[in-house]
Structure 1
Amino acid sequence: MGRVISIKDILNFLERGFADVTRQYDWDNSGKQLILEDQEVKKAALALDPTEKVIDKAIEEGCGLLITHHPLFFGKVRSLDVSKTFDRKVIKAIKGNLSVIAAHTSLDLADFSLNDYICTILGAEVHSSFVEEGKHEFVKFAVFVPKTHAESVRMAIIDAGGGSIGNYSGCTFSIPGEGTFIPGEGTDPYIGTKDVMEKVDELRIETIIDKRDVGRLLSAVIEAHPYEEVAHDIYKLDMGKPYGLGRIGEFVAPMETEDFLRLVKEKLGCDTLRLNKKPTGSVRRFAVVTGSGASMWKACVGAGVNVLLTGDLKHHDAIDAAENGILVVDAGHYETEKIFMNYLSKLISKKFNIETVVIEEEPSVINWR
């Protein structure tokens, strides 16, 4: 029998590993929506949007968790009224013991984002991020510990996530030295006598750690350290890994622009594409921003690309981009994002050995003929 998988297990994976929730934009609400952290999960549903139909279907399927791209909650909720659609969705989820997690801009800004996936299925290599938005920050952590407890503190550091550099783990460095202190009034020192200078052979143990994990590391070190007051230093490092929105994809060889458009239609399952100008020439590099990214066409100029694959093309962006020689390919907000849920479903199922189901939704915009 495999181990029991809880909501918390999957939440930690999504928020801390796959789609770092600290990267999300200030206006967003990725991560926890409705959470029963101790609840066991045997089956999870995935969908682009937490619509009422999706929530009904997830409960009907016997799912304990719904993972969506777009959040359930935006803004403050002051009351719940079953006669209102949004409120009814929340009430249904709670009554159905359905936890809800969203990975929105945290996923857009992830190391492997929707945009990376689009490049992959189109057969293009990811050249770089389209627009850099920040850096994944690391800090150096140093602690001073008597030699008698050095290894227990070192292991506490490693177990808390310290010392991971690339594909290496457990990376620390130690420097011997002499620590001095005078225990004062109200102290109960592990070593030494009140009001008497004490000298102790100590090690300075240092490592690097993800800035997000400093609190957890410090708690672990304090727990393992024999002293009442644990002397430690934290230094900001200028070595953060950059992350960004969108990707620049590159084909091995150029293809005719019309062939590129046919490829997009095929791989994204689009009935139609909206363009801001007639397709001409060939495509080797292109930018992709899933969802609503047409307003980012200006970044194409600096990035040296003249094709932007995205959704939600507006009139003035269409004109301005065309006048600057940028072809904007609007494949649809829904169409550029929905396909990723199948990938995430397989990933969750494989990692946690649980059943997953992707709930198909109607497109938010349809073409009437």
Structure 2
Amino acid sequence: MSVDIINILNFFEKSFSDITRQYEWDNSNRQIIVDYGKVKKVALALDPTKQVIKKAIDKGCELLITHHPLFFGKINSITKGNLLSDKIIVAIQNKLNIASYHTNLDLADFSLNDYLAEKLDAQVIDGFIKEGSEKYYKFVVYTPVGYENKIIEAFDLSGAGQIGNYKKCTFSTIGTGTFEPGNNTKPFIGEHGVFEEVKEARIETIVPEKNLSRLVKNVINAHPYEEVAYDIYPIEISKTYSLGRICKLNTKTDLKSFISHISQKLGCAIKYNFLDDNLIFDEFAVVTGSGASLWKHCKQKGIKVFLTGDLKHHDALDAKEEGVVILDAGHYSTEKIFMEYIQKVLETKFGIEVITIDEEESIKIWR
């Protein structure tokens, strides 16, 4: 089975995650797009290394999706013999499209942190560091009775009507619409100069600000009337998004047991700044990848245990003096596992073949 590549890209940028949430310094997006055609096979990896790109090509993949971007800043030249240039040249020569979704996945509603919590049999109870919020609007449109389903489909296509895990959420009432077509109109119902009364449905839904213009366009295209009557109201709700998660275990545990649990679930070694044998806990914070410098937020929230990666010397010392235990499971190990989740999501949604490319951890530990 094949699928249009744009459908996969739009899924990552507008549905599964939101490209507008990425940090300003980031470059989550389409890195190399050779062909906006059909895709039969997708490869997933954490990093777009030479080996990963070669494996994706050898496996016959038309699209490689990575978490870390191929490049961040502007490119002044593409010159053979330069590492980045060689990757670009090889990808283009072999018609391999590459897209990278980085901090927008870190800030997604279901992020790497949520999946890691699931792997550790923990429940997410809150966001860790609030990063922003999305404004919402109430959208109301009037349509002749019998066309409600077409309008609701337009809502859904536009990313409107989503409440939690429910989609196509609307409310409708029936009333009477009145109008009189003028001489230069092409009325769907009625005649020029004749006053009309029509049974109409008033359909309302909610929509995030980012999807509002798309919603208006799609509703107008789906609507039978020449002139579409609709209302837009700002509403006092918003969706907050966060970096990291605060999690709760099913039962209280000690540090050594928790470290053993993490190591077993992730298959990795754990570094730490200190152990408190008297500490019994069931809550911890997590930031996948490189988050050790954020330990001070644990202090502010009264959290004693912080699971993350990329622990540095001074953060380890300062956190220890403040009584915060930092558990470093590694940048690689805390993020690589998300590829297995994405693989299942893409296979289920698009019905295409998806492979996760084996990678070597960049930092080795002598055991």
Q: Place the TM-score, normalised by the shorter chain, in its bin.
A: 0.7 to 0.9
Q: 2:138 corresponds to which letter in structure 1?
A: K
Hey, what's the Cα distance between the residues in 2 that align with 1:168 and 1:40? 27
More displaced stretch, 174-183 vs 60-69: 174-183
TM-score by length of 1: 0.86
CA drift at 1:294 = 0.9
AA partner of residue 296 (structure 1): L
The range that moved more, 159-168 or 282-291, is: 159-168
Provide the rounded CA distance (Å) in 2 between the counterparts of 1:294 and 1:198.
Answer: 69
- The equivalent residue for 2:33 is 35
Q: Which residue of 1 aligns with 2:175?
A: 176
110-119 or 277-286, which deviates more = 277-286
Q: Is the 8 A contact 2:131 2:241 kept in 1?
A: yes
Which amino acid in structure 2 is aligned with residue 269 of structure 1? G
8 Å CA contact 1:157, 1:217 repeated in 2: no
Alignment deviations for residues 66-106 of structure 1 (CA, whole Å, 9 cap, x no partner):
11111123122233222211122112111111111222112
In structure 2, how many angstroms separate the alpha carbons of the residues matched to 1:209 and 1:37? 35
Q: Which residue of 2 aligns with 1:235?
A: 233
Deviation of the 1:204 alpha carbon:
7.0
Aligned to 2:261: 263
Match of 2:348 among 347, 350, 354: 350
Does residue 316 in structure 1 map to residue 314 in structure 2?
yes
Q: What secondary structure does 1:238 align onto?
A: strand
Render the CA deviation track for 1:5-24: whole Å, top value 9, x for unaligned: 23223223222222222322
**1:354 Cα shift?**
2.5
Displacement after TM superposition at 1:123 (Å): 1.8
Please show how residues 112-261 of structure 1 align to structure 2 within 5 Å: 112-144=110-142, 149-152=144-147, 154-160=148-154, 161=156, 162-166=160-164, 167=166, 169=168, 171-174=170-173, 176=175, 188=185, 190=187, 203=200, 205-211=202-208, 212-225=210-223, 228-261=226-259
Report the Cα distance in structure 1 between the residues aligned to 2:200 and 2:153, rounded to whole angstroms.
19
Bigger drift between 65-74 and 131-140 goes to 131-140
d(CA) in 2 for partners of 1:316, 1:202: 70
Identity %: 45
Contact between 2:272 and 2:327, CA under 8 Å: does it hold in 1? yes
Letter in 2 for 1:337: E
User: Offset of 1:337 from its aligned partner?
Assistant: 0.8
- Equivalent residue for 1:97? 95
1:278 is aligned to 275
The superposition leaves residues 316-337 of structure 1 with CA deviations (integer Å, 9 ceiling, x where unpaired) of 2222211211011111111211
Tell me how far 1:189 sits from its aligned partner: 5.5
Query: Which residue does 2:298 correspond to in 1?
Result: 300
Alignment partners' CA distance in 2, 1:345 and 1:361 = 15
What CA distance in whole angstroms lies between the structure 2 residues aligned with 1:197 and 1:84? 73
Residues 208-232 of structure 1, C-alpha deviations (whole Å, 9 max, x = no match): 2332332332122222445555343
Question: Alignment partner of 2:237: what SS?
Answer: coil
Contact 2:161 2:207 in 1 (8 A): no
Q: Distance in 1 between matches of 2:219 and 2:85?
A: 44
Which deviates further from its counterpart, 201-210 or 331-340? 201-210
1:17 equivalent in alignment to 2:15: yes
Residues 253 and 361 (structure 1 numbering): CA distance in 2 closer, same or farther, change over 3 Å? Answer: same
Secondary structure of the residue that 2:355 maps to in structure 1?
strand
Quick one: distance in 1 between partners of 2:318 and 2:195? 73
Between the two proteins, the alignment pairs up a number of residues equal to 358
The alpha-carbon distance between structure 1 residues 170 and 311, as it changes in their structure 2 partners (threshold 3 A), is closer
The answer to whether the Cα contact below 8 Å between 2:140 and 2:203 also exists between their aligned partners in 1 is: yes
Q: Could you tell which deviates more after superposition, 275-284 or 44-53?
A: 275-284
Q: Structure 2: 5+ residue runs without aligned partners?
A: none
For residue 359 of structure 1, what is the amino acid of its counterpart?
I
Query: Using the alignment, how far apart are the partners of 1:144 and 1:346 within structure 2?
Result: 40
Worse-superposed segment, 48-57 or 204-213: 204-213
| From 50, 54, 75, the counterpart of 2:48 | 50
Structure-2-length-normalised TM-score: 0.87
CA distance in 1, matches of 2:224, 2:289: 53
1:346–1:52: structure 2 CA closer, same or farther, 3 Å change rule?
same
